[in-house]
Amino acid sequence: MYVEEPDDRELVAVATYSLAVDADLAMSLLRSMSIPCYLQNELSLRTVWAAAVGGLRLVVPASFSEQALEALNSPVSEQEFETEAKSAMSERPPEA
């Protein structure tokens, strides 16, 4: 039986966020686990209109989707949350 391997060029949405700060935290968490990810339409949707057009979609290569979903759905301690928040804020470009 032939089983097709996932194509790393195929991207899968693992979460959608209406607030950029929430998307940044999730992206920081995945990157800290060496899971490649990015926000679709990140530059055009970092406005008050993000929610109106479906929010910020966090996508990963298909081969990382299970690992990403597990990470995003696992409980996070207060200390871990604070660490990720500080990391995400340091990675964010200054707002104009």
Per-residue pLDDT of the chain (96 residues; tens, 9 = 90+): 544 455 567 999 999 988 888 888 899 989 989 999 998 877 665 565 555 667 889 999 999 999 999 999 988 777 877 787 777 677 666 655
Structure tokens at 3: 């089983």
DSSP conformation letters of 1-24: ---PPPPTTSEEEEEEESSHHHHH
pLDDT given for residue 14 in this prediction: 97
pLDDT given for residue 48 in this prediction: 59
pLDDT given for residue 3 in this prediction: 47
Three-state SS annotation for 58-76: EEEEHHHHHHHHHHHHCCC
